[in-house]
Amino acid sequence: MKEVIKIEGGHRLNGTVRISGSKNSTVALIPACVLANKPVTIFGVPNISDVKSLMVLLNELGVYVEQKDNETLYIDPSNMENIPMISGAVSKLRASYYFMGALLGKFGHVQIKMPGGCYLGPRPIDLHLKGFEALGATVDYENGCYILHADELVGTNIFLDISSVGATINIMMAAVYANGRTTIENAAREPEIIDIATLLNKMGAKIHGMGTSTIVIDGVSNLGGCLHEIIPDRIEAATYLIMAAAMADDMVIENVIPQHLESIISKLKEVGIRMEVGSDFIRVTGRSNTLRPTEIQTKPYPGFATDVQQPFTVLLTQAEGNSVVTETIYTERFKHCYELNKMGADIDVRVPSCFINGKTKLYGTSVTATDLRCGAGLVVAALMAEGVTEIHDVYHIDRGYDNLDGKLKKLGAKLWREKV
């Protein structure tokens, strides 16, 4: 038996939705906590399945984890053991690779199975491995496992060929205990990196320059415990902004950092969405009579986020005219287009772009969430569609959206889950 989400389209959205803590921060913050030698408490943890998978991995390492309430995690790594990470839980999420940097930094040795996650085309971890090698680690691959070892990690200059978020965070975590200074050039600048560096600095690390393309880490000998609140999820916020643009009369998205959403806000205004941007909220009050087509090119932060491309493509099916979306980060990120075409969209995929011919009416049918953000896009489409849409493989959606059903119902959407 598998679970599906059914959504009856055509219901207008009104009211307020509160954005949860950042999924992309959380999945790196939790592994980062093992670098401490005393307890760490994290607030604002989203209730998503990726967090549950990470808690299983922490338990396997002998780390004590307690969920204090819905949004608070207490993590005590003082009795942890560096055992091989080869269980099925490792394969459930890509973010398990953050244990590479954390365990290599703390113990100088890690054995870990190849991590899992959504398939979005080639997502090599060679940049991570090159960074570890530059710090003095050896990298071997045996029986589907990476084995990393270093008698001593030594600070060095590392230039990333691509400004990868995962590699930036992983190298940063390995370098906090390294001997001397590590400089990461062409580092990614995403807000989540600032969040992880802030946590590590609260523990006692010495990291400077996060949020710029040059991050400097001076190694320390010990990291202690701390309290930390996760930043709001900018991708969840963008998803609800797009839902509001599609179906809302008057909707407020609260607990947001508007600066993190500038590229999305500007593109929504460009296509004709009316909004008021506050200090920690955005209010959407409808749109101009005709939605205007546009061109989008995904870029690393602060450019247009690849994670928002799929939901935004759905909105553009309702624009009068032809829109073009070009994907520069994950070339395979167009599987949602084939699902949308089943619903009546007219999208021509020619990698690395898709060409959206609007405006087309969408009709409810059976579709499949092939990955997390495809699932988010299909929810947006279902809200707009005539009739009932049945979304399969909803576990992808549950990996990244906290209480999607409850939040949408409160806004006036009609949806439910069934076992099939």
One-letter identity of residue 74: Y
Q: Residue 288: its pLDDT value, please?
A: 83
- Does the annotation list 329 as a binding residue? yes
CB within 8 A of 138, min separation 6: which ones? 148, 149, 150
pLDDT value at position 119?
55
| Backbone Cα Rg of the chain | 21
Q: In sequence order, what are the residues at sequence separation of 6 or more whose Cβ sits closer than 8 angstroms to the Cβ of residue 273? A: 244, 245, 284, 286, 287
Residue 24 marked in a binding site: yes
Per-residue tens of pLDDT for the chain, all 420 residues: 899 999 999 999 999 999 999 999 999 999 999 999 999 999 999 999 999 999 999 999 999 999 988 899 999 999 999 999 998 888 878 889 999 999 999 999 999 987 765 555 545 688 999 999 999 999 999 888 899 999 999 999 999 999 999 999 999 999 999 999 999 999 999 999 999 999 999 999 999 999 999 999 999 999 999 999 999 999 999 999 999 999 999 999 999 999 999 999 999 999 999 999 999 999 999 888 899 999 999 999 999 999 999 999 999 999 999 999 999 998 889 999 999 999 999 999 999 999 999 999 999 999 999 999 999 999 999 999 999 999 999 999 999 999 999 999 999 999 999 999
Determine contact, residues 384/364, Cβ cutoff 8 Å: no
Is position 126 annotated in a ligand binding site?
A: yes
Angstrom CA distances, 139 to 31, 32, 129, 134, 301, stand at: 20, 21, 7, 11, 30
Shortest CA distance to 315 belongs to which of 228, 248, 236, 396? 248
Every domain range in the chain assigned CATH 3.65.10.10: 3-20+232-419, 23-229
CA–CA separation, 90 and 71 (whole Å)? 23
124 assigned to a ligand binding site: yes
Q: Which fold has domain 3-20+232-419?
A: UDP-n-acetylglucosamine1-carboxyvinyl-transferase; Chain (3.65.10)
Residues forming beta bridges with residue 114, ordered by sequence position: none
Tell whether 23 is in a known binding site.
yes
Evaluate whether 60 touches 35 at the Cβ level (below 8 Å): no
Query: Comparing C-alpha atoms, which of 96, 114, 111 is closest to residue 56?
Result: 96
pTM attached to this predicted model: 0.95
Distance CA 10, CA 14 (A): 13
Q: Is 307 annotated among the ligand-binding residues?
A: yes
419 marked ligand binding residue: no
235, 229, 287: which is closest to 256 by C-alpha? 235
- Point out the catalytic residue in the list 33, 118, 226, 374: 118
* Residue 300 assigned as binding residue: no
Closest CA to 260 of 237, 243, 294: 237
Distance linking the first and last C-alpha atoms of the chain: 5
CA 166 to CA 168: how far, in whole Å? 6
User: How big is the CA angle at 417 (ends 416 and 420), to the nearest 5 degrees?
Assistant: 140
| Tokens 């935004």, residue located | 312
CA distance 32 to 98: 8
- pLDDT score for 332: 80
pLDDT at 318: 97
- Rounded to 5 degrees, what angle do the CA atoms 395, 398, 404 make? 135
- Extract the tokens encoding 375: 């699932």
DSSP 85: B
Residue 145 annotated to the active site: no
Q: Is 364 exposed, middle or buried (0-12, 13-18, 19+ CB in 10 A)?
A: buried
Q: In this structure, are strands 181-185 and 157-159 parallel, antiparallel, or unpaired?
A: parallel
| Assigned CATH for 23-229 | 3.65.10.10
